Amino acid sequence: IARSHSLRQISLAYCDIGEDSAQSLVQIFKTAPEAYDKNASALRLQNVNLQGNPLGGKGLVAVCSGMSVNSTISAINLSDIGVSDDDMFALEAFRDALLLHPLIFKVDFSMNHIGSAGAQLLLPVLEEKQNIKAFRMTNRIDRDTARAFHSLMMQRNVKSKKKKVVKRKKKTATSGGETVEEVEVSGAEGEVDPNAAADAAAEDAAAVATLLGDVAI
């Protein structure tokens, strides 16, 4: 796989890849550039899906080290990988990898046990990386942190007159049978009233604080 000159997407969702296996998996990212040096046009791995694998904190750190040497990934799905606020070292590595990566615009980090402390650690990503248009994270966070996430996503949509906010709500069941409610905020073509967007951000943040269950931002 690492030496493929045409690989665009890789999906290994729910393949029981743990911390040790993640170290081997990351070689796909780390060795690929060597193969690609002879054919620069082959730098095209864009979509990585590792949903539902028990990577844990150490596995996430391994994935982040792979991201640091592969600059073409634009979408990554790390939902339900067993990461929580107890894995601060891994969340710091994830934050740094996203801040340094030039192209990622879509991140799915939902169904992980991230609370207010972990969410606040990731806030700089949305503050600094304007190219990130969709960021999903299951909400176990306080009202102020939820408001900050929503406001940052709304602001980047308001800056462009040709963008509006698209919100989709759905209920899903986790691997443990728990039902959670998710909200995804992303950009789309159209126009948006800045005042209305600001009001919507405040309203959504308040709703996040009062919902029973989990909410993805």
Q: What is the pLDDT of residue 138?
A: 81
CA distance 92 to 76: 17
CA distance 74 to 8: 10
Q: What is the pLDDT of residue 143?
A: 86
Domains, the chain: 1-104 (3.80.10.10)
Q: Are strands 163-173 and 179-189 parallel, antiparallel or unpaired?
A: antiparallel
CA distance 157 to 191: 9
Instruction: Report mean pLDDT in 10-residue bins for the chain, 217 residues.
Output: 69 93 77 48 74 97 88 93 97 97 94 94 93 86 87 72 51 54 45 44 43 39
Burial 124-138 (b: 16+ CB within 10 A, else e): ebbeebeebbebbbb
Report if pTM > 0.85: no
Q: What is the pLDDT of residue 189?
A: 40
Q: What is the pLDDT of residue 193?
A: 44
CA distance 160 to 146: 23
Q: Which residues contact 5 (CB under 8 A, 6 or more apart)?
A: 35, 36, 39, 42
Q: What is the pLDDT of residue 59?
A: 96
Q: What is the pLDDT of residue 32?
A: 53
CA distance 101 to 74: 9
